Amino acid sequence: MRKFQFNKKWLNLSFYLLFFGSLVVFPFILSDFRLNLVGKFLAFSIVAMGISLSWGYTGILSLGQGIFFGLGAYAMAMYLKLEASGADLPDFMFWNGLTALPWFWKPFKNPLFAFSMVIILPLCLALLIGFVTFKRRISGVYFSLISQALTLVFFILFIGQQGYTGGTNGITDFSTIFGYRLFSRTSQHVIYYLTVLFLFVLLLLGQWLVNRQFGKILIAIRDRENRVRFSGYNPDNFKTIIFGISAVYAGIAGALFVLQEGLISPSIFGVVPSIEMVIWTAIGGRTSLIGAVIGALLVNTAKSLLSENFPEIWLYFLGLLFIIVVRFLPEGLASLFTKPFSSNLLKRQKLSMGVKHV
Amino acid sequence: MSEQVKHILYIEGLTVSFDGFKALDDLSFYVEENELRVVIGPNGAGKSTLLDVICGKTKPEKGKVLFYEKIDLTKMKEHEIARLGIGRKFQTPSVYEDLTVFENLAISYPKRKTVFNAVFSRLSAQDKEKIEKVLESIGLIDKMHFKAGLLSHGEKQWLEIGMILIQDPKLILLDEPVAGMSAKEREKTVGLLKKIAPGRSLVVIEHDMEFVKNIAQRVTVLHQGKVLCEGSVQRVHNDPKVQEVYLGGYKVAAN
Amino acid sequence: MDTGVLLTQVFNGLSLFSILLLMALGLAIIFGLMGVINLAHGEFMMIGAYTTYVIEIFFSKYVNGAFSMYIFVALISSFFLTAFIGFLTEKTLIQHLYKRPLDTLLATWGLSLILQQSFRNIFGANNVNVDMPKWLIGSFAISQDFNLPYNRIFILLLAILCVGGITLFLFKTRWGLRIRAVTQNRNMSSALGINTRKVDSVAFALGSGLAGIAGSALTMIGSVGPSTGQNYIVDSFMVVILGGIKSLLGTILSAFTIGEIQSVAEFFSSSSMAKVITLVGIIILLQIRPKGLFSMRVRA
């Protein structure tokens, strides 16, 4: 038994080493185009980890992670756009008849302000949504549908307020950061490693959170919220906090995405992309953070390969993926690696203890 | 709580209705400190609703529900009531199947109930000792690293009792603790309840008359949201009104 | 303020109300009974719409003499075809996800993607128009600038007819009784010998069929495309949530509220802002009544 666990630990460790090791060497072996894709997918992985925390561990299925991703992305893009415009008004504002920079754009000239907004905006919005809905005991599918409706609201607002947000086109045409060319090889490598670093740190943070008592309580809330209440906890607070954390993950991911995509528009964070984010996590394994990361990488790789060559097949494929995973592999790919061990283990325990089948 | 108070639970004029139907109708109900009270009554008599009101799950239409004769429970949320020292066991076993037996108890431990503590504090050696003590008393010490989902029905019920016990409550509310148990398991549960009863008050809902006879000091019979009769098991058993509405169907079993 | 135009907009709101009602009625029956959220409901609606489109073409090509009557054939076929597809969905997918409502949500969304893409491949990515029979064109003029278009009157009557039919079905037939029984207490019903699986299938087929009728009705007031269903799905769910599940009257009133708010808000601002106003309004209302406007207080 001891030895088995020891082996498993090494297996895990070597997997993580291999994974992050290959991420570190990618810039030396991949073309710039592919590296850029991987970098964006890694940003998506961060969103997926956030979803795993809120949905997999706590049972809060948000169909609105796109909102938070979008807020992080826009906060970053606003800074970049202002830098690109210099002393002038950003082009799309000029086209829409604005004569002065709106007040809420002004502070985004300051990079520190903009970068902190990447975290603060999604966090505050999620805390607000969480606070009002969880306090009113709105949960389950109700919460999912409301988050979806909110995504639609944001989507429409961002398209409608062209002068402030760039409308359908979003915020585009920025090419420098701190005076350096954004899409030079060096900058992109720096940004790529920054993404890997964030992924690593946020993975550790998430793992740490779920291993604490806090994580156990999240699982308890997911499975029996009432029991948790009668044990003297206020689940509303826990749910609000974890929802906020998942929003921060999405926000950071959005900012990292913009740095590599070079634009952000409403179509990137709307209703459909938001629900697509959930499938990344579902495929990888909702209760496994690294599973969620792998899921995001796999789905997006498949998407870019398929939609480059057969754009129509991609949607059939994605649809089928949803159905098959949910129907046959509810714990995602991660369960293929962990479940055979544990379920056999459980079976053996059951037999040896004569425990009644449950 | 400096002055001596007699009633740990003081309920007066309690009315709860669901869409016109009165589940509790101007009910008065008092439980003394260190008392073990059994509540019986036919289906729909309002037994579970009574527990729901006490632990804050259901808000009453009118009436007083006081803890130690002065804390108004009707104004409080479930977790606040739990923190006062009122523990509730549900009718169907309600444990966290995906956590181990040990974790189930660790979560229920009275400290660390805020988000901050849940993230930053750790179990001390003392805490672990206390958890293990409870594990021993509910007879699950050998299975502490099992997922709770693997336990048998009876074991789950005991685990839930343990989860309440570890909160060290002043008042324990138990909803049908022996339902679905084998004779042997029942016996064990009776022993467990008798062991935990001293030093606190218990309100137990039960149908099983054998069990009631075994543990009850005083019995309250509810019928249509009202108290029909209250007293010793013998007295309740001999009360003609009770025999008519409730025990009639159980006569054979009760004798 | 232009009263006539405003009144027209109020009347147009009744068409939206009718379509939302037909959509939400099906969703509410399914959700109340099985706790299942069918995100493909919007695509089920489009199955009805495209069925109508195909039958219209068929009639204008081959049975032009009976063209004025095609709409009835279309309505009936839409209902049955969509009900059949709903039945298959329930049998092959939903049934296996019982008690996993969030997973059902995701699986049905996958189904909706597949259906949308099939519409695109079969009927093209562009919207299609369905020609109305002559008797549905034109309008009943009340004043110079307040007209009641015949097609919109027809849709309203259709919705009323369907609601009446559903009410009769639920409260006067054996199947209706079974559905109500299982909705209230699944275990008890099962213990009493009701085949709950069969009840689920029937209810799911019925709810889907209603979406088909909604789609058919939708073709009478505008063009439809592969992703039109998506525009209605969020609203329909809001109707169900706001109405409170297990309440027929609640669904009707909440469909009315949402349909009218949306249409009247369109009069005062743009149609996209109207949607924002409606959705935000609903979310605020839900803060006040989290279980819906017309929910009952029941024992948990």
Structural domain harbouring A211 = 32-97+107-271
Work out the minimum CA distance from B199 to partner chain C, whole angstroms. Answer: 32
Q: C74 pLDDT exceeds 70?
A: yes
The domain limits of chain B are 7-254
Are A219 and B99 a contacting pair, CB within 8 Å?
yes
DSSP letter at B40?
E
Q: A357 pLDDT exceeds 90?
A: no
**pLDDT tens-digit profile of C115-162?**
999 999 999 989 999 988 888 888 888 877 788 888 899 999 999 999
Work out the minimum CA distance from C300 to partner chain B, whole angstroms. Answer: 9
Per DSSP, chain C holds a count of helices (H) and strands (E) of 11, 2
More confident call, C278 vs B2: C278
∠C6-C8-C13 over CA atoms, to 5°?
Answer: 95
Q: Mean of the pLDDT values across residues C266-280?
A: 85
pLDDT band per the 50, 70, 90 thresholds, residue C81: very high
Distance CA C67, CA C136 (A): 12
Residue linked to tokens 């007083």: B64
Q: B2 pLDDT exceeds 90?
A: no
pLDDT score recorded for residue C164: 93
Q: Phi and psi (nearest 5°) for B188?
A: -65, -40
Distance CA B171, CA B31 (A): 10
**Mode of pairing for the β-strands spanning B226-231 and B7-18:** unpaired
pLDDT band per the 50, 70, 90 thresholds, residue B149: very high
Question: What chain A residue is nearest to C241 in terms of C-alpha separation?
Answer: A142
**pLDDT tens-digit profile of C160-218?**
999 999 999 989 999 889 988 888 888 888 888 888 889 999 999 999 999 999 999 99
∠A255-A260-A261 over CA atoms, to 5°?
Answer: 95
Work out the minimum CA distance from C46 to partner chain A, whole angstroms. Answer: 17
Q: A155 pLDDT exceeds 90?
A: yes
Q: Mean of the pLDDT values across residues B21-30?
A: 88
Q: What is the sign, positive or negative, of the torsion defined by CA atoms of C285, C288, C294, C299?
A: positive
**Which of C105, C120, C280 is facing A153, going by the closest CB pair?**
C280
Number of domains forming the structure of chain A: 1
Residue A160 belongs to a domain = yes
Q: How many CB pairs under 8 A join A and C?
A: 111
Residue A76 belongs to a domain = yes
Distance CA B53, CA B41 (A): 17
Q: B179 pLDDT exceeds 90?
A: no
A219 contacts B119? CB cut-off 8 A: no
**pLDDT tens-digit profile of A285-317?**
999 999 999 999 999 999 998 887 887 788 898
Q: Mean of the pLDDT values across residues A327-354?
A: 60
* Neighbouring subunits of A (3+ Cβ pairs under 8 A): B, C
Q: A108 pLDDT exceeds 80?
A: yes
C296 contacts B19? CB cut-off 8 A: yes
Distance of CA A178 to the CA centre of its chain: 26
Q: Which CATH architecture has domain B7-254?
A: 3-Layer(aba) Sandwich (3.40)
Residue A277 belongs to a domain = no
Residue B156 has, within 13 A of its CA and on its CB side, a CA count of 24
pLDDT score recorded for residue B246: 64
pLDDT score recorded for residue A331: 85
Mean of all residue pLDDT scores within chain A: 89
Question: What chain A residue is nearest to B106 in terms of C-alpha separation?
Answer: A213
**Which of C102, C114, C279 is facing A141, going by the closest CB pair?**
C102
Contacts of C261 in chain A (CB under 8 A): none
pLDDT score recorded for residue A5: 57
Contacts of A55 in chain C (CB under 8 A): 102
Contacts of C300 in chain B (CB under 8 A): 52, 57-58
Distance CA A53, CA A59 (A): 9
**pLDDT tens-digit profile of A21-73?**
999 999 999 999 999 999 999 999 999 999 999 999 999 999 999 999 999 99
More confident call, B228 vs A345: B228
